[in-house]
Amino acid sequence: MTGPADGARDGAFMRIALGHAAAAGAGGEVPVGAVLVRGEDIIATGGNRPIASHDPTGHAEIQALRAGAQALGNYRLNDTTLYVTLEPCVMCASAIVHARVRRLVFGAWDARAGGAGSITNVFTLPGLNHRVDVFGGVLMDDCARLLQEFFVQRRE
């Protein structure tokens, strides 16, 4: 369920997500960032925080979804696009579906935990009551490089 992205617009929002990913990495978290957008407006952002928050659900996507729901006063995030620097895991992919996000755009693929096609594809499971348009690989090299550099530094 991956396809062409919306060019310059997607790249611009992904660069903002990369900034949040870098901030998460600077704080000792795995550098993943997320930006929730409706139209041209940023509704919410998030960066990985499971270590700092002592919360296994503290992924960047969940942070952005929670903040977006608060900002909009509704758990249904209709007509939104979520930009994430790393392919969502199964937990996050499921939350994206339940939140009714219209579009997901992600950067790097996650061969170990990806829930949008790498190890499984939550978005194509039959019986789900909502479909999300999914586009992977936007600024993939930049997103992957940030993760690779983080893990190289951790191993030194």
> Three-state SS for 47?
strand
CA 30 to chain centre: 13
Give the list of residues 6+ apart from residue 79 with CB closer than 8 angstroms, or none. 38, 39, 102
Region label for 11, one of left (φ > 0), alpha (ψ between -120 and 50) or beta (otherwise): alpha
Q: Do residues 70 and 60 touch, judged by C-beta distance below 8 A?
A: no
Query: What gap in Å lies between CA 96 and CA 94, rounded to an integer?
Result: 5
Question: Quick check: is 29 catalytic?
Answer: no
Active-site annotation holder among 29, 40, 61, 87 = 61
Residues recognised as catalytic: 61
